[in-house]
C-alpha cells in the first residue's frame, strides 16, 4: 500500500529553497535538539584547521529525535518523536531541509508521519527508511521524497521487532541493519527494487544491541550493551562477506558503565564508546580481527546521562553534552584523535544555539577529491567499485559520473577512467 502526503508551501519559499540546494562544499556537522520549545537543527562548518563555525540554528517544531543527511549531501532530514500536535497519538512530524554550499539549511517541507520516529537512514538520495519505534510492534517505513513536487510517498512498511530504535546502512553491499533491544537481536534487510525490505538474516544478541554502527569499510558492526548484563558490555560482529557473526571475544567489557553511544573512526582503527551512567567517553583499539582492546584513554562529560550523541569524521570525534546541570557546560565537543587512541579537545566546547543537544547528529565529509573515491574514504580500491555498482544498479543520481543527468553506460566508462587514474 502506498500512502501519499502532500505539503502546502508558499511558492516563493519553494523557489528560494531550490535556488539554494546543493551540498556543503566544506565538511559539516548537524546537531538536533530534543526539546519542546527550542527544537531545532544547528549547522556547523568544519574548517580546514578543524575548528567549527556555526552557520545557523534552524527551528523544527518540538522533540527532534534524529537527523540524517542523504548520500549526495543535498538534503537533511529531521524527525520528531512525541511531538504530535494534531490531537493524535499516532502521528509525528518529519522535516526535509535543503543544504546549501555554505552548509546553511532551508526547510523545504514538513509532513505528518507515523509516530515515534527514533531512527532514520537514507537508502538513496530521495528514499529514506524511518523507524516507528513502538514497544511490542516496531516497524520500518520506507518513504520517497519528491523534491520537485514536495511530496512524501510511503513505499513500504515492515515489522521490525519489539523495540527497534536504530538503523545502519551497509556502505558496501547496501543492506540495511536494524536492532531490537527488547527481543535482543540484530536483523539484516535486503532492499528490493520496489523498496520493500526482506529480512534475510537475524542473529540473537547476549545484551542490548543499542545504536548499531558499521565501519566505513563494511567489515565490522559494534553496539553498546547499555544497562543489560553487568552494564559494561560492548557487542562486536563481523559483517563482511555476507555474514553476521560475533567477533573474537565479543561481548567485550568496558571500564565504563552503560556503554550506549558508539563511533568508529574513518580508518577503522578505533572505536569510541559513550557511557550513559558515568558519562564517560572511552577509546578502544580495533585489532586486525575486529576484537577490542581498551586504550585506557577517556573523557568525563560530567553528569550522568548527559552524553547526547557521538559521531566521527576523519580524525575527529564529535560529542554532545546535552545538559548544563551541575557544571554549567553544554554544547558540542570536538576532539582530535591521535595515533595511540588518545583524544584531546580542539577548542572549548561549542555552543549549539539551543538546549538539549541530544536530537541526533549527522556529519558531511565534504565533496570527494575525485569521483573514483565513491565511498569517500580517501582511498581508491575495490570498495569504490562496489559502491559505484550499487548506485548504478539503483539508478541513483550519485552514479551520474559525467554529469549529464542520465544514468547509462557512459557513466560506467567515466567511472572506469576515474578509477584507473586514481586520486591525486
pLDDT digits 0-9 by tens, 326-341? 888 899 999 999 999 9
What's the confidence (pLDDT) of residue 259? 98
Residue 10 has pLDDT above 90, yes or no: no
Residue 9 has pLDDT above 70, yes or no: no
Mean pLDDT along residues 185-191: 98
Tell me whether residue 376 is in a domain.
no
Q: What is the mean pLDDT of the chain?
A: 90
Mean pLDDT along residues 255-284: 97
Residues 6+ apart with CB under 8 A from 34: 63, 64, 65, 308, 322, 356, 358, 359
User: Which residue has 535482543 as its cell numbers?
Assistant: 184
> Is there a single domain that holds both residue 408 and residue 324?
no
**Lowest-confidence segment of 151-160, 204-213, 384-393 by average pLDDT:** 384-393
43 strand-pairing partners: 30, 56
| 135-141 contacts, C-beta under 8 A, 24 or more apart | 135/162, 135/163, 135/182, 136/162, 136/163, 136/182, 137/162, 138/162, 138/163, 138/164, 138/165, 138/180, 139/114, 139/164, 140/164, 140/167, 140/176, 140/178, 140/189, 140/197, 141/113, 141/114
What's the confidence (pLDDT) of residue 63? 92
Residues 6+ apart with CB under 8 A from 393: none
Residues 6+ apart with CB under 8 A from 85: 61, 62, 93
Cβ–Cβ under 8 Å, residues 185 and 161: yes
What's the confidence (pLDDT) of residue 14? 34
> Is there a single domain that holds both residue 339 and residue 417?
no
What's the confidence (pLDDT) of residue 88? 56
What's the confidence (pLDDT) of residue 369? 65
**Lowest-confidence segment of 292-306, 332-346, 381-395 by average pLDDT:** 381-395
CATH of the domain at 49: 2.130.10.10
> Is there a single domain that holds both residue 414 and residue 323?
no
> Is there a single domain that holds both residue 64 and residue 117?
yes
- For the chain, the farthest-separated pair of C-alpha atoms sits apart, in whole angstroms, at 61
> Is there a single domain that holds both residue 407 and residue 282?
no
Strands 91-99 and 343-345: unpaired
Q: What residues make up the domain containing 11?
A: 3-364
pLDDT in tens, 67-83: 999 998 999 999 999 75
Residue 86 has pLDDT above 90, yes or no: no
Mean pLDDT along residues 214-232: 96
Q: What 3-state DSSP class applies to 16?
A: helix
**High-pLDDT (> 70) share of the chain, %:** 91
Tell me whether residue 201 is in a domain.
yes
> Is there a single domain that holds both residue 16 and residue 138?
yes
What's the confidence (pLDDT) of residue 190? 97
Looking at the 3D structure of the chain, how many domains does it have? 2
Cβ–Cβ under 8 Å, residues 204 and 185: yes
Cβ–Cβ under 8 Å, residues 125 and 395: no
Mean pLDDT along residues 354-372: 87
Q: Bin 417: left if φ > 0, else alpha if -120 < ψ < 50, else beta.
A: alpha
What's the confidence (pLDDT) of residue 226? 97
What's the confidence (pLDDT) of residue 85? 54
Tell me whether residue 369 is in a domain.
no
Is it true that the peptide bond before 239 is cis, omega within 30 degrees of 0?
A: no
What's the confidence (pLDDT) of residue 16? 34
Indicate the pLDDT class of residue 395, thresholds 50, 70 and 90. confident
> Is there a single domain that holds both residue 251 and residue 400?
no
Indicate the pLDDT class of residue 378, thresholds 50, 70 and 90. low
What's the confidence (pLDDT) of residue 415? 86
Indicate the pLDDT class of residue 89, thresholds 50, 70 and 90. low
> Is there a single domain that holds both residue 50 and residue 169?
yes
What's the confidence (pLDDT) of residue 4? 34
> Is there a single domain that holds both residue 358 and residue 386?
no
What's the confidence (pLDDT) of residue 418? 84
Indicate the pLDDT class of residue 383, thresholds 50, 70 and 90. confident
Cβ–Cβ under 8 Å, residues 169 and 123: yes
> Is there a single domain that holds both residue 343 and residue 414?
no
pTM of the model: 0.85
What's the confidence (pLDDT) of residue 15? 32
Domain end point (choices 364, 396, 413): 364
Tell me whether residue 226 is in a domain.
yes
Tell me whether residue 314 is in a domain.
yes
> Is there a single domain that holds both residue 191 and residue 281?
yes
> Is there a single domain that holds both residue 333 and residue 409?
no
Q: How far apart are CA 29 and CA 14, in angstroms?
A: 24
Tell me whether residue 372 is in a domain.
no
Tell me whether residue 370 is in a domain.
no
Tell me whether residue 97 is in a domain.
yes
Amino acid at each position: 500500500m502506498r500512502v501519499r502526503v502532500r505539503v502546502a508551501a508558499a511558492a516563493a519559499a519553494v523557489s528560494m529553497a531550490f535556488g539554494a540546494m546543493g551540498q556543503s562544499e566544506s565538511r559539516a556537522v548537524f546537531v538536533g535538539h530534543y526539546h519542546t520549545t527550542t527544537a531545532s537543527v544547528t549547522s556547523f562548518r568544519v574548517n580546514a584547521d578543524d575548528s567549527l563555525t556555526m552557520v545557523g540554528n534552524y527551528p523544527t517544531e518540538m522533540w527532534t529525535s534524529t537527523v540524517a543527511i542523504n548520500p549526495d549531501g543535498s538534503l537533511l532530514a529531521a524527525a520528531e518523536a512525541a511531538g504530535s500536535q494534531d490531537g493524535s497519538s499516532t502521528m509525528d512530524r518529519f522535516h526535509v531541509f535543503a543544504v546549501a554550499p555554505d552548509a546553511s539549511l532551508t526547510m523545504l517541507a514538513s509532513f505528518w508521519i507515523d509516530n515515534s520516529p527514533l531512527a532514520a537512514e537514507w537508502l538513496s538520495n530521495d528514499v529514506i527508511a524511518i523507524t516507528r519505534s513502538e514497544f511490542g510492534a516496531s516497524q520500518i517505513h520506507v518513504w520517497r521524497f519528491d523534491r520537485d513536487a514536495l511530496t512524501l510517498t510511503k513505499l513500504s512498511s515492515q515489522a521490525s521487532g519489539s523495540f527497534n530504535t536504530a538503523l545502519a546502512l551497509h556502505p558496501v553491499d547496501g543492506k540495511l541493519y536494524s536492532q531490537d533491544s527488547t527481543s535482543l537481536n540484530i536483523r539484516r534487510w535486503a532492499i528490493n527494487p520496489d523498496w520493500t525490505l526482506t529480512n534475510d538474516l537475524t542473529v540473537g544478541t547476549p545484551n542490548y544491541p543499542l545504536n548499531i554502527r558499521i565501519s566505513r569499510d563494511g567489515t565490522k558492526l559494534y553496539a553498546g550493551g547499555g544497562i543489560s548484563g553487568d552494564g559494561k558490555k560492548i557487542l562486536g560482529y563481523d559483517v563482511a562477506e555476507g555474514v553476521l557473526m560475533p567477533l573474537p571475544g565479543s561481548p567485550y567489557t568496558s571500564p565504563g558503565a552503560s556503554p550506549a553511544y558508539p563511533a568508529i573512526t574513518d580508518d577503522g582503527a578505533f572505536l569510541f564508546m559513550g557511557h550513559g551512567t558515568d558519562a564517560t567517553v572511552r577509546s578502544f583499539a580495533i585489532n586486525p580481527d575486529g576484537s577490542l582492546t581498551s586504550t585506557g584513554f577517556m573523557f568525563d562529560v560530567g553528569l550522568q546521562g548527559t552524553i547526547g550523541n557521538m559521531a566521527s569524521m576523519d580524525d575527529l570525534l564529535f560529542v554532545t553534552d546535552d545538559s548544563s546541570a551541575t557544571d554549567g557546560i553544554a554544547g558540542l565537543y570536538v576532539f582530535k584523535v591521535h595515533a595511540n587512541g588518545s583524544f584531546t579537545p580542539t577548542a572549548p566546547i561549542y555552543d549549539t544555539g539551543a538546549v538539549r543537544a541530544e536530537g541526533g547528529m549527522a556529519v558531511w565529509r565534504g565533496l570527494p577529491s575525485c569521483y573514483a573515491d565513491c565511498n569517500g574514504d580517501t582511498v581508491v580500491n575495490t570498495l569504490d567499485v562496489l559502491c559505484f555498482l550499487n548506485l548504478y544498479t539503483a539508478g541513483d543520481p550519485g552514479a551520474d559520473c559525467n554529469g549529464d543527468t542520465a544514468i547509462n553506460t557512459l557513466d560506467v566508462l567515466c567511472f572506469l577512467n576515474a578509477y584507473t587514474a586514481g586520486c591525486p
